[in-house]
Every structure is written in structure tokens, then in C-alpha cells.
Amino acid sequence: MPLSVQETEVKNPPVSRPPLDPHLKALENEAIHIFREVAAEFEKPVMLYSIGKDSSVLLHLARKAFYPGRVPFPLLHVDTTWKFKEMIRFRDEIAEKYDLDLVVHTNPRGKAEGITPFTHGSALYTDIMKTEALRQALDAGGYDAAFGGARRDEEASRAKERIYSFRTPDHKWDPRNQRPELWNVYNGMIKKGESVRAFPLSNWTEVDIWRYIQAEDIPLVPLYYAAERPYVERDGMMILAEDPRLKLLPGETIRRGMIRFRTLGCFPLTGAIRSTASNLEEVIAELEIATVSERQGRAIDRDQSGSMEKKKREGYF
Amino acid sequence: MTATATSTSATILPFAEPAKAARDTRPLRLITCGSVDDGKSTLIGRLLWDTKAVKEDQAVTLARDSGQQNDLGLPDFALLLDGLQAEREQGITIDVAYRYFSTDRRSFIVADTPGHEQYTRNMATGASTADLAILLTDARAGLLEQTRRHATIAALMGIRQFVLAVNKFDLVGYDRAVFDKISHDFRELALSLGVRQVTAIPMSALKGENVVYAADTAMPWYDGPTLIEALELATVRSTQAGGFRLPVQRVVRPGESFRGYQGTVAGGSVKPGDSVVILPSGTVANVKQIVTFDLVRNAAVAGDAITLVLDRQVDVARGDMIVSLDGQPMTGRHFDAQVVSLQPGGIEPGKRYWLKSSSRRQRVSVEPVSQLELSTGIWQPHASTLHMNAIGKVRLAFEEQAIFDPYDQNRSTGAFILIDPDTLNTVAGGMITAKRGEIGGIHQSQEGEGQRVLLSLPADLAEQIMASELFAARRDETEIKRMTARQAAEVFRDAACDI
Ligand SMILES: Nc1nc2c(ncn2[C@@H]2O[C@H](COP(=O)(O)OP(=O)(O)O)[C@@H](O)[C@H]2O)c(=O)[nH]1
């Protein structure tokens, strides 16, 4: 039990870093406050863990919030079976290293029916393997609160999202029926079957996430850093070509080049960018002059305009 | 030139006290308020654009969606804020959206609330966390009743820094006389609301003048700050000065002998060795350790999320508050408050609500006393339901001890929400003004007209007496004032005269 303390005195824990700058410190304090409040007020919280950089920050904050205790809820990973292999390896290592309860769920119906992003299109695939799968997992676990890593700066429809986002018993998000949030006094009272999604990173921006990862030395899936990797170009995206399930279409060839990913999801739907930024410092430097918002790489957002808002109502995060 | 420049300077009172050397780099939270068409969307869009918070792909979408490009060849900034626009089209409740931008000095979180529908409810929500309010006015129209309403709500919610954006200044020929008149009127308004940190800035959000970039050519007579400079200099309200407050969120017991109390410091500061009181029980203990993930710390201040370890086994639960022995909050069952009614059902007299303040949730009944008339600033007697968007003064009656500071002294421990027990929705935001039964700042004893003894003791002796269990058990009936020996002598002299 590396994280619990048996003696009365808490010894200086393993790390001692220079203090965070006041800006990141304020964001960290706010996130820890939210974690503790949800853990105290809800019966069965869970943390949605997507293995990406935001999830990694979220997990780090959860560990800080409950130290010297263990993280008092499980992590839930919805595995579409189309994640990057490196993500799955990383997930299992982290769960082991930090003594976490990890719940992995795959939609059995989708699996049985052979739903893939190639055969069924990204919209249907996402619907079944992500949205429906998440609902199944949340119902199965009986969770009444789910932490997510969404940020308000990510997308226009999220700008008005609450820290506690209310969901009906069938996981619907009703924009008409969100509660006003004043100060940092959150209303955690819900009826049976209702639940909340709680977003401790609401007020963080992409740059904050990266600067925090740097300041706190948070481990990430190596795909965020540039390396020479095989890829194919498809629909204007560079798709990683290392999984045998990726079948080349006529005219496509596997190329190699220095690429990295700004977001991580299902490999067939996640486009890489050309980059030589092979470590954190270089990624941040690149970001500071970057002119493209991070969600651009995600096929899901481009399927239809206002798609996130629609997805949310259906229960996608 | 110097003399006239001073008279027209926009900065009526400086933002930062000159003594303060280090710049505050914590994120500044602000709210923008304006009537429809004053140019609020244009201003926020301009801030995001000129601070380069707009990414290239967003800009492309923006350029594509901008039907009417303005004469400067720039996109329609208002479209950047389409989170609310979509709602508008769908006829969905319009409320608060948050925007983010930063300069190399500081980052900013803007609560963007629409100017028309439900403005009181939305403004109160956005203002609750804001340190500063930008009030917009159209230079051609000057101050309107709306400006007074917005300023009143902002002041009520505890905002003590105002920036008046005198927008569309390009449309009044950059006339300095127009600016002088509006800024003078605004200063009077702000002062009448008790707000003294006021900056008025003539600007054109559309042309980007005095927003992020100075407008030296258009307004050579103006020597005040640009909007962004004013925002960079603003201070983040902190409650580090008062007594220590730690509302306990949860108790952590990872092993048999370790017991820590987790929460965010809501006021003052704490260090190992400090004597603290646990409220409402009144139990006294000393701080043994301040634990965080990074290191065992030798101090924590307001805003820090910490785990506190005490030197003895005491009974502490979520909802309790650990406070300094000195300068304790008010405890009692009856309080006066101001509330903003947020839901269609209003706030009903005599109904039992849930009240949540910090981590404490308890039953309360609410009696309206008066309602604020926003157009005049006058409180009118009002004992019936406070309808949605009403601002009222109320009396709160609790079934068990409640713990508060006055909101104007502590925005965390003085704030609360009301939750409807049937819908479980948040129906009001509230601010504590005083403990009931307080007359002229003197607590009445619970027995009313009982006999009292005033003692004047050396501080160390008083400290020991106050640390006793006996004292703590009846803390609620006592009144403590610290002063110098000379002041104490005067009090006793005066008391003798009165008798
Ligand atoms: N000339 C001029 N027009 C402005 C300025 N700011 C905004 N406008 C125009 O005023 C109109 C209303 O602006 P908008 O930002 O939509 O107002 P809102 O309703 O307060 O959000 C638009 O046509 C803007 O182009 C300004 O500084 N100068």
C-alpha cells in the first residue's frame, strides 16, 4: 500500500518540487476542492478515464486530493477495442503503479455485431462503442457521479457547462434544466437514478494542462511526443498504421514520418500532426505558437456542426 | 498639459495600492454587463482576438460564418461566442458562459451573461465568483437605468472593482467632453454603491481602440490605461486577513492512527502549533501538521486545499468548521441575509429549504422582509414570495447551529445557496449580513436581559481562559474584543461615566 500512511506522522512524500506558479496553484486548488466535494456528497462516484493528457492530469489531481488516502473511487475506461495499443499498455501500468481500481467496459452488443469505425462510419460507431457503452457501464456500476476531464475552452457548447452537470436517469443532458452555480457552493442533491458529471478541469485551458504536466512531471502516453511512425493519409487525416485491422484502400500506401498526436482516442478516428516536438518542452514551445485548436484532429467534431451539443444530450460525456 | 491630463484621467482611484510591489498573477475572474447592442459580444470577441485566444481553424469558421464583414475586414466577433447564440436560436434558457484569455502577465476568466432576459439571475451567478465587473455603456446614450441595475447587482454580490467601458467612442467623434461627463456620473453612481475602485475607459470595441491596444492617435488626450492594462492591474479578492477558516469537506483515515481533515482554507492562515476551535462543538485543539501531496507544509493560506492534522482525538465531521481561537465566525440559529431568487417558483415565506454554505447543509426557514427596487436602489417592505429575479432581505431561522461570517468580510463563509426540498434545484443565492439579535455589534446573551461582566485581562491570560472547555462550551454567549491597554482603560472609564 504505497499510498497510505500507517504512522501518525506523514513523512515528506516522494516528491518535492518548486512551488507551482499562483495561476496553476489556483486551478489545482479548485480542482481538488471539487474532487473532495463530490467524493463526500455522492454515494458512488467514478472517474471516467480516457488515458489522454486531460485524464492524466485529472488522475494526478485526484491522487493529490485524497492523499494520504487512496483514491476513493474506481476509474472507468470505456474500451472500444480500437484504442492505440500504447494507450492500453500505459493504462495498465498506471493502474498498477498507483494502486487504482480500474474498471474496463466494452459494449458486448457492439462487439457481437462487429461494429467498427471502418464498416459502420464514425457516427454510428461512436454512438454504440462510446456513448451506449458508457451508459451501460454507468448503469452497471450504479454510479451517481462521474468525473470527466472536459474543459470549457474546448468547444463553444461547453462554455456554459456547469461544474456539476446534471443527467436524467437515462443519462440525458438537458440544457434547459441545469442548475445555477454560484460561488464554489455546489448543489449535490439528486433524486434516485439521476446523476451528475463533475468537471474539475472546467476552468483550465489547453496551455494550462501542458504547463501543469510539465510542472508536476506527469507521465503521458508517448504518442503525444513526436517520433518516426508509420501512417496512411485518409480523408485529410494522418492515421497511425501499426494495427493489422487497418486495411489499406486502393491507392493508399504506408508512409513514415515524424508525427505526434494532440488528442488520443480511437486510432482510426484520430489524426496525427507533423511535428518534431519529441519531448514536453518542445511540445509546449510548439503549442505556444500553434494556431490550430486541438479538437481539429477529432473526426467526431467535424461530422456535423453542433455535433458536440447533440452528442452531449445523448449522453456522450 | 499635466494639470488637464490629470483632470481627464480615467483612473479615478488607482487599482493597486502603490505599496504593493508584487503583481498579482492569480487568474482574474470578471463579469461583463451591458444592455443589448452596447457591444458586449464585440468587446469580448475583440479581447479574445487581440490576445490571440482565437485559433486559426476557429478563425476560418468565423470568417466563413460571418455574413456581414465589417468595414475593417475583420470577422464578426460576436460569432465567436456562439455557445450562447445557438441557445438564442433554439429559444433555450440563456445563461452564463465562461471565456478564457490571457496575456503574458495574467490569465482571465470572463463570465459572459446576456444583457436582457433574466439578467438578475444570470448576473448574480456570474458575479458571485467575479473580482471585477466591466460595465458597458454606449457613448451616445451615456449612463442608463440598466447601468445602475447592473452596478447595483455587481456591488451586492461583493464586487469592489468596476471598469466602465464607454464603448462606441468612435461614434461621438472621440469627444473628450462626452467622456468626462459619463465618467463623472459613473463615479457618483459607484460611490453611492460603496465601490471606490473605479476606472472609466473611452473605447471602440469594434476598432480595437483602448481595448488591448492604446488609441493614441484617435484619443491623444486620454492618458489612462487600456482595458487590458486595467485588468492586469486589478486585484484578486482574498480573505487572508481575517481569522482562519477551514470548512471540513471530508475526514481521511488511511491508517489506524492517522486522521486528517480535508478542505479548502476559506479565510486567514494556519500553521502548526496554532490553537483552533472546532465549530459548532466548540472543542479546542492545536494544529499538528498541514499535509499536502507535495510536502508537509509549515503554513497554509486562504485558497489552499489542505489536509489538517490536530494534536488530539476530537470529534470532527464533514460540515464542521475549524477556525482560529481568535476572531471566530458567528454561530447561532438566526441570521439576516440578502438573497437573489433564481427559479420560477420564487422563495416562499415560511417554507423549509435546504441551505448549503461551504460544506455544511442544514434545514432553514426563510422569511422575506423587503425587496430591492433596482431602478431606484430602494428597499421596499415585502413579506410575501420573492419571485424569480427578485433581490430580497430575509430572516433565516435554523433548526440547529449555523456558522457564518458576514459576506462583506468573507465571500466564502458568508455565502450560501438555497435548495428546494421537492425539486432539489438551486432556488437562491444568498449573502449573510448579520447574526440576528445583534444590536450595535454587541451579541445579546441567549437569556436576553441577563447580567454581564466586562473583564479586562492581559492577552495571555485571556488566551488560556478561552482555550478552556468551559469557555468553549458557552462561546456563543460571549463577546470578545482585542485592544491595547490604553483603549481598554478608556472603555472602562467611559463605562464608569455611563453608570
Ligand atoms: N461603431 C461602433 N460599433 C460598435 C462598437 N462595438 C459594437 N458595435 C456594433 O454594435 C452592434 C451591437 O454589438 P454587439 O456586440 O452585437 O452587442 P451586444 O448585444 O451588446 O452583444 C453591432 O452592430 C456592432 O458591430 C464600437 O465600438 N463602435
Summarised one tens digit per residue, pLDDT across range B485-496 is 887 887 777 665
CA of A107 to nearest chain B CA: how many angstroms apart?
A: 32
Interface probe with B: pick from A25, A63, A160, most Cβ of B within 10 Å = A160
Q: Which residues in chain A show pLDDT less than 70?
A: 1-16, 289-317
Rounded to 5°, angle at Cα A24 from A21 and A26: 105
Beta strand pairing status for A145-147 and A75-78?
Answer: unpaired
- Count how many Cα atoms sit within 13 Å of the Cα of residue B343 in the half-sphere of its side chain: 20
Contact B305 A63 (CB under 8 A): no
Question: At A96, is the secondary structure helix, strand, or coil?
Answer: helix
pLDDT at B406: 95
CA of B196 to the centre of ligand 1 (A): 28
The band of B78, judged by pLDDT with boundaries at 50, 70 and 90, is: low
For chain A positions 128-167, those within 8 Å of chain B (CB to CB) are 152-153, 156-160
Q: Which residue has the higher pLDDT, B499 or B176?
A: B176
Q: Write down the pTM of the prediction.
A: 0.85
Is the predicted pLDDT of residue B20 greater than 90, yes or no? Answer: no
Residue nearest to atom 13 of ligand 1 (CA): B39
The band of B173, judged by pLDDT with boundaries at 50, 70 and 90, is: very high
CA of B398 to nearest chain A CA: how many angstroms apart?
A: 19
Is ligand 1 within 6 A of the CB of residue B138? no
Q: Is A182 on the interface with B (CB under 8 A)?
A: yes
CA–CA distance from A135 to each of A38, A61, B321 (Å)?
A: 20, 25, 38
Q: Where are the domains of chain A?
A: 22-209+308-313, 221-300
Q: Which of B452, B409, B453, B449 is nearest to B431 (CA)?
A: B409
Is the predicted pLDDT of residue B47 greater than 80, yes or no? Answer: yes
User: B493: which 3 cell numbers?
Assistant: 472609564
The band of B8, judged by pLDDT with boundaries at 50, 70 and 90, is: very low
Contact B100 A65 (CB under 8 A): no
pLDDT at A190: 95
> What residues of A are in contact with residue B305 (Cβ under 8 Å)?
28-29, 32-33, 36, 65
Q: Which of B193, B320, B304 is nearest to B238 (CA)?
A: B304
Q: Which residue has the higher pLDDT, B292 or B190?
A: B190
- What backbone torsions phi and psi does residue A305 show, to the nearest 5 degrees? -75, 150
Contact B294 A7 (CB under 8 A): no
Q: Which residue has the higher pLDDT, B328 or B455?
A: B328
pLDDT at B337: 97
The band of B110, judged by pLDDT with boundaries at 50, 70 and 90, is: very high
Three-state DSSP string of B56-71: HHHHHHHHHHCCCCCC
pLDDT at B499: 41
pLDDT at B376: 84
Residues B255-273 pLDDT 10s: 888 999 999 999 999 999 9
- Cis omega before residue A180 (within 30°)? no
Element housing A75 (H / E): strand A75-78
pLDDT at B23: 61
Among B26, B128, B255, beta carbon nearest to A5: B255
CA–CA distance from B257 to each of A7, A15, B254, B263 (Å)?
A: 6, 23, 8, 20
Q: Which atom of ligand 1 is nearest the CA belonging to B35?
A: 20
Residue nearest to atom 1 of ligand 1 (CA): B168
Place of cell 447543509: B361
Q: Where are the alpha helices (DSSP H) in chain A?
A: 22-41, 53-66, 85-97, 108-112, 117-126, 133-141, 206-216, 280-288, 299-302, 307-314
The band of B81, judged by pLDDT with boundaries at 50, 70 and 90, is: low
Is the predicted pLDDT of residue B7 greater than 50, yes or no? Answer: no
CA of B480 to nearest chain A CA: how many angstroms apart?
A: 30
pLDDT at B297: 80
CA of B52 to the centre of ligand 1 (A): 20
Residues B367-413 pLDDT 10s: 999 999 988 888 999 999 999 999 999 999 999 999 999 999 999 99
Rounded to 5°, angle at Cα B292 from B291 and B294: 130
Interface probe with A: pick from B128, B294, B306, most Cβ of A within 10 Å = B294
pLDDT at B72: 52
Domains plus CATH for chain B?
28-233 (3.40.50.300), 245-324 (2.40.30.10), 330-435 (2.40.30.10), 442-498 (no CATH)
The Cα–Cα gap between B182 and B162 comes to 14
Interface probe with B: pick from A158, A163, A185, A305, most Cβ of B within 10 Å = A185
Whether residue B339 contacts residue B428, with contact meaning beta carbons closer than 8 Å, is answered with: yes
- Count how many Cα atoms sit within 13 Å of the Cα of residue A141 in the half-sphere of its side chain: 28
Q: What is the mean pLDDT of chain B?
A: 84
Contact A4 B255 (CB under 8 A): yes
The Cα–Cα gap between B110 and B126 comes to 9
**ipTM for the assembly:** 0.86
Whether residue B18 contacts residue B50, with contact meaning beta carbons closer than 8 Å, is answered with: no
Whether residue B413 contacts residue B266, with contact meaning beta carbons closer than 8 Å, is answered with: yes
Place of cell 468595414: B71
Whether residue B406 contacts residue B438, with contact meaning beta carbons closer than 8 Å, is answered with: no
* Average of per-residue pLDDT across B356-369: 96
Task: State the DSSP string of A288-299.
Answer: HT--S-GGGGBH
Q: Which of A150, A241, A239 is nearest to A199 (CA)?
A: A150
Whether residue B337 contacts residue B415, with contact meaning beta carbons closer than 8 Å, is answered with: no
The band of B63, judged by pLDDT with boundaries at 50, 70 and 90, is: low
Instruction: Please name every residue paired with B199 in a beta bridge, in sequence order, or none if there are none.
Output: B11, B163
The Cα–Cα gap between B122 and B115 comes to 9
Contacts of B394 (CB under 8 A, 6+ apart): B336, B337, B338, B339, B347, B366, B367, B368, B369, B386, B430
pLDDT at B480: 72
Q: Which atom of ligand 1 is nearest the CA belonging to B40?
A: 20
DSSP A158: G
Is ligand 1 within 6 A of the CB of residue B140? no
Whether residue A85 contacts residue A242, with contact meaning beta carbons closer than 8 Å, is answered with: yes
Is ligand 1 within 6 A of the CB of residue B76? no
CA–CA distance from B41 to each of A121, B32, B167, B179 (Å)?
A: 38, 10, 12, 22
Superfamily of domain A22-209+308-313: HUPs (3.40.50.620)
Is the predicted pLDDT of residue B472 greater than 90, yes or no? Answer: no
Q: Is A27 on the interface with B (CB under 8 A)?
A: yes
For residue B497, how many other CB atoms are within 10 A of its CB? 7
The Cα–Cα gap between B435 and A10 comes to 40
Is the predicted pLDDT of residue B305 greater than 50, yes or no? Answer: yes
Whether residue B243 contacts residue B263, with contact meaning beta carbons closer than 8 Å, is answered with: no
Element housing A164 (H / E): strand A164-167
Residues B174-231 pLDDT 10s: 999 999 999 999 999 999 999 989 999 999 999 999 999 999 889 999 999 999 999 9
> What residues of A are in contact with residue B86 (Cβ under 8 Å)?
156-157, 306, 309
User: A194: which 3 cell numbers?
Assistant: 439521476
CA of A37 to the centre of ligand 1 (A): 41
Residues B411-460 pLDDT 10s: 999 999 999 999 999 999 999 999 986 443 444 444 455 677 888 888 88
Q: Which of B432, B398, B240, B454 is nearest to B327 (CA)?
A: B240
CA–CA distance from B498 to each of B124, B452, B456 (Å)?
A: 46, 15, 18
Beta strand pairing status for A164-167 and A145-147?
Answer: unpaired
Q: Is A43 on the interface with B (CB under 8 A)?
A: no
Q: Is A289 on the interface with B (CB under 8 A)?
A: no
- The residue type found at B396 is L
For chain A positions 209-238, those within 8 Å of chain B (CB to CB) are none
